[in-house]
Amino acid sequence: MQAANTPTSYGWITKTFHWAIALMILSMFALGWIASTLAGWIEAPDIAVTEDTVAWTKLLFSSHKTMGVAIFFLAILRILWAISQPKPGLLNGDNGPEATLAETVHWLLYGSLIAVPLSGWVYHAATTGYAPIWWPLGQTLPFVPKDAQLAQISGALHFILQWVLAGAITLHVLGALKHHIIDRDATLRRMLPGRTEAMPTAEQPGHALPIIAALAIWAAALGAGAWVGWLAPESTVRGEALAEVQSDWTVQDGALNITIVQGGADVTGSFADWTASIAYSEVPDAQGLHGAVTVTVAIASLTLGSVTGQAMGPDYFAVGEWPTATFTADLVQAEDGLIADGTLRIRDQGQPAQMPVTLSIEGDTANATGSLTIDRRDYSVGMGTKDEGTLAFAVVIDWQLTATRAAPE
């Protein structure tokens, strides 16, 4: 069998591209569906999660992502090869509507083979955590920052475009079966192993109308996705917002972050909704206290890369049962500096915690930072994951804020 195409037959290189990508796409859909189902179990509030479930989910997602990158490069090679080759014409090119539909499906297939894996790769590069790509090019893409909103939008694009691809594949398969069973022509046979010659009809569809139709289908799919809100940036504040608190110092700006080590890689997230009630005086009282602080954190406002949903689950923060975490402490001057000495409560567990605080005050404006490393097991977080290679025990909490002193009444 010849390597190159002819006007009446496909060569073995084109056939290899066709069937290799077809098998990989079918595998991709299966892997993605199973992995997403397992991820849903992990996030479900009433399902006990085992370490094996988490490990299998990670394995399947990594397989799905790695195969997607491979399809992306194979699709580029296939398109370049197709450009360099004569394309055997349709055997029913004189049937205008059917031939135009067939060419539209071909354009949808070629475009989707680029757009679907690329949107998935952008999502992976823009987020952090969970399942790495087993690919020597690494986990990032040029010009793609780590950004939660970009990850959300690219993930939505990946979801929408995969259904366009699925629809195009379905029409492509149905068309091939129709040619083979009903029309009894060689359309399907000339893509099978061996050399099959078939003379195309003299009349063939043009390219303009199928391209316009394919673009219209993509636009309609994206428009439908935008209409239902999939492409709108999601607010990082979920659940009921915390009420404002009265405080001697009012927080004007700040950030509260956590960093976990998942699969050997750092995954940093942040809480969008938290309050701080702060009483502080530069002069300590008779007990040596400078003041006190109470911080309340809305757990549901956490964004933690691709493991955000998992973190909300019953084996981790269990946000449905314990929606907030609190840190209540006295502000004490120690030899090494200011210490917030108190109790950190996560879920139903409260543990003593001493957090060094770096503080500077200019007039009525204070800037403060702090950091604390805890053991998640002390707070019954992730007790089903006992392997530190999967999820490390240590969790780093760090914060910074700018606050202004309330005017005296």
Q: What is the pLDDT of residues 354-390, one digit of tens each?
A: 999 999 999 999 999 999 999 999 999 988 888 888 8
Phi/psi for 328 (5° steps) reads: -120, 125
Residues whose CB is less than 8 angstroms from the CB of residue 352 and which lie 6 or more positions away in sequence, other chains included: 342, 343
pLDDT at residue 374, rounded to an integer: 96
Where do runs of H (alpha helix) occur along 179-242?
208-227
Report the Cα–Cα distance between both ends of the chain, in Å, rounded: 92
Distance CA 295, CA 370 (A): 13
pLDDT at residue 130, rounded to an integer: 72
Distance (Å) of CA 111 to CA 101, 108, 226: 15, 5, 20
pLDDT at residue 298, rounded to an integer: 95
Section 7-12 average pLDDT = 93
Q: What SS3 state is found at 33?
A: helix
Token pair of 275 as six digits = 């309050």
**Model pLDDT for residues 334-352, shown as the tens digit of each residue:** 888 899 999 999 999 999 9
Q: What is the amino acid identity at position 199?
A: M
pLDDT at residue 250, rounded to an integer: 92
Q: How many CB atoms lie within 10 A of CB 325?
A: 20
Indicate the angle between helix axes 96-126 and 208-227, nearest 10 degrees.
50
Distance CA 115, CA 351 (A): 49
pLDDT at residue 46 is higher than 80: no
**Model pLDDT for residues 193-220, shown as the tens digit of each residue:** 988 999 999 999 988 999 999 999 999 9
At 239, is the pLDDT very low, low, confident or very high (cuts 50, 70, 90)? low
Instruction: Catalogue all structural domains in the chain, each as residue range(s) with its CATH number.
Output: 12-227 (1.20.950), 249-405 (2.40.128.110)
User: Who wins on pLDDT, 49 or 370?
Assistant: 370
With tokens 């569809």, the residue in question is 205
Confirm if 302 and 260 have CB atoms less than 8 A apart. no
pLDDT at residue 145 is higher than 60: yes
Confirm if 355 and 340 have CB atoms less than 8 A apart. yes
pLDDT at residue 408, rounded to an integer: 64
At 236, is the pLDDT very low, low, confident or very high (cuts 50, 70, 90)? low
pLDDT at residue 139, rounded to an integer: 82
Section 181-192 average pLDDT = 94
Q: What SS3 state is found at 279?
A: strand
**Quick one: which H or E segment has residue 146?**
none
Confirm if 167 and 52 have CB atoms less than 8 A apart. no
Token pair of 122 as six digits = 């952008």
Confirm if 365 and 215 have CB atoms less than 8 A apart. no
Q: Is 372 left (phi over 0), alpha (psi -120 to 50) or beta?
A: beta
Confirm if 280 and 250 have CB atoms less than 8 A apart. no
Strand runs labelled E in 98-199: none
pLDDT at residue 265, rounded to an integer: 82
pLDDT at residue 398, rounded to an integer: 96
> Among candidates 329, 246, 249, which has minimal Cα distance to 281?
249
**Quick one: which H or E segment has residue 363?**
none
Section 302-306 average pLDDT = 88
At 78, is the pLDDT very low, low, confident or very high (cuts 50, 70, 90)? very high
> Among candidates 137, 4, 128, 12, which has minimal Cα distance to 70?
137
pLDDT at residue 235 is higher than 70: no
Instruction: Identify the top-confidence range among 51-60, 228-237, 281-290, 367-376.
Output: 367-376
Q: Which of 76-85, 106-115, 260-269 has the lowest mean pLDDT?
A: 260-269
Report pTM.
Answer: 0.81
With tokens 């004569």, the residue in question is 86
At 234, is the pLDDT very low, low, confident or very high (cuts 50, 70, 90)? low
Percent of the chain residues past pLDDT 90, beyond the cut: 69
What is the pLDDT of the chain when averaged over all its residues? 91
Percent of the chain residues past pLDDT 70, beyond the cut: 97
User: Who wins on pLDDT, 247 or 19?
Assistant: 19
